[in-house]
Amino acid sequence: MVAPVKNKGWIVTFSGTGINLALGILYTWSIFKGAIRASVEKGGPGAFNWDLASLNDPYAICCIVFAFAMIVAGKCQDRFGPRVTAFIGGILVSLGFIMISQTTSYAIWVIGFGILAGTGIGFGYSAATPPALKWFPPARTGLIAGLVVSGFGLASVYIAPLSQYLVGVWGLQKAMLFFGIAFLIVVCGLSALLRNPPVGYVPESSVAKAGQPVPAPKKQYDARPSELMKTRAFYTIWIIYFIGAGAGLMIIGSVAGMAQKSMGNLAFLAVAILAIGNAGGRIIAGMISDKIGRRATLLIMLTFQAVLMLVAIPIVGAQKTSALLLVVLATFLGFNYGTNLSLFPSLTKDNWGLKNFGMNYGIVFTAWGVGGFVMGRLSQMLYASSGSYTSSFITATVLLFVGAALTFALKAKKSEEPALQPREPALAATGNPK
C-alpha cells in the first residue's frame, strides 16, 4: 500500500503559473520594437541605429533559442528536477536584460535578448509544466497544462502597460534594467516551490474510494526521445505546431504596430487585451480537449484562426481602422494562438508519457521556435517591402488550412492512444523530487 503523501499539486501549479507570468515578457516585444523604431527614425546621439527590416531579429532569435533550449532544459528538468532548472532560467533571463540595458548595439541585443533571455525563458518554461502534470490524474491533463502556461500568455496584461510606463518615464534601457532585476527575484524565488511527486505517488482520483475495488494499474507509455522521433505522430504534430505557433507569433510580434494607427499611445492596450485572449485560450482549450479530444479541439481552433486571418485583412488595412474591431480581433487571435500552448504539451504526454516528458516536449517545442523565427522574420520582411500586413495574413491563412487538414492524420480518440507499445506497467508518474 502506498503511504499517503500531501498533494502539493496546486502549489506547484500556481508557482509554475507565476514563473510564466514573468517570462511572458517575450509577448511584449512589439512595444519594445516600437520604442526602437522611434529611436531609429528620430536619430541623434545615443539613438538605435538599426536596419528597419531587422527590428524583429532579437524577438525571432529569442523564439528559436527559447525552443531549442527547451531540449537541454528538459533534460535538466528530467534529471535534476524543476527547482534547479527554473533557478538557472531566472539567472539567465536577468543577465540578458541587464546586458541590453547598457547599450543600443544590435549585436548585443541579439545576444542579450535573443540568446541569453531566450535560453533562460526556455529553462524556466520547461520547469513549470512537467511537475504540475505529475501531481494530477490524466483526466486533468488539459486543464493543468492550460493553467500553467496561461501565465505566459497573461503576462502582457500587466507587462504591456508597465513597459509603456517605464519606457515613457525612464527610457527603454532603464526599463530593461528594472525588468532584469525583477526577473532575478521572482523567477528564482518561485523556483523553490517547484517539485516532482515522490516515486510511487498515485494522484488522488486514481485511488479507489472506500468499498470499491482497487482498479488495475494502467500501463504507462514512456517513450525515450530516440523512440519519439521514430514515430509518424511526432512529425505530424511538429508540422502542425510550427504552423499554429508561427501564425500566432507573427501577429503577436507586430500587434502594437498594427494598433498604432487607430489607438496611438494606447496601442499597448491591444497587446494587453490580446494577452487575455491568449491566456483564456490555453485554459479553455485544455478543458475542452479533456472532453472532446485533442484532435477535434485542434481542428476547430486552426480553422477558426485561418478565418480570423482573412477577417483581419480589411480591418488592419483600412484607411481608418476601428479601435473596437481591432481589439476584438486581437482578443480572438490571441485566444486561438494560446490553444496551441496547452494542446501540444497534452498531446506529447498522451502519446509518449511523463517519464521523459521534459526532454520529449522540448523536442516537440522546437516547432514553436522555428515557427516563430520563420514567420516573425517573414512578416517583418513582407511589411518592410510592402508597407502592409496583407501578404503576411494571406500566407498565414494558407498554412493554417494546411495544418487543419493535417489534424486528420492524428488519432481522434478522446483519450489519445499512445504512439508506442508499452514496455512495462507503472503505478504512477515518477520523477526526481528535487
Mean pLDDT in residue range 313-322:
72
1 lies in a domain? no
pLDDT of amino acid 219: 56
The tens digit of pLDDT for each residue in 158-205 reads 888 898 899 989 999 999 999 999 999 999 999 999 998 887 777 766
370 lies in a domain? yes
* pLDDT above 60 for 206: no
232 lies in a domain? yes
The CATH number for 395's domain is 1.20.1250.20
2 lies in a domain? no
Nearest to 138 by CA among 353, 361, 407, 411: 353
Mean pLDDT taken over the chain: 82
351 or 27: which carries more pLDDT confidence?
351
DSSP secondary structure code for residue 197 in this structure: P
Mean pLDDT in residue range 107-136:
93
The tens digit of pLDDT for each residue in 263-301 reads 666 767 777 777 788 888 888 988 899 889 889 999 999
242 lies in a domain? yes
- Of 83-87, 141-145, 425-429, the least confident: 425-429
Please give the C-alpha separations between residue 178 and each of 101, 162, 170, in angstroms, as whole numbers: 9, 11, 10
- Of 89-103, 132-146, 224-238, 373-387, the least confident: 373-387
Number of domains comprising the chain: 1
pLDDT of amino acid 145: 85
Supply the range of the domain harboring residue 224: 9-201+218-425
The tens digit of pLDDT for each residue in 363-372 reads 998 998 888 7
28 or 344: which carries more pLDDT confidence?
344
Residues near 410 by Cβ (< 8 Å), separated by ≥ 6? 233, 236, 237, 294, 295, 298, 347, 416
Position 354 confidence tier, pLDDT thresholds 50, 70, 90: confident
* 3-state secondary structure labels for all residues of 157-191: HHHHHHHHHHHHHHCHHHHHHHHHHHHHHHHHHHH
Nearest to 359 by CA among 224, 163, 164: 224
212 lies in a domain? no
434 lies in a domain? no
Residues near 227 by Cβ (< 8 Å), separated by ≥ 6? 352, 420
259 lies in a domain? yes
Pair 196, 431: CB distance under 8 Å: yes
CA–CA gap between residue 182 and residue 340 (Å, rounded): 28
pLDDT of amino acid 427: 35
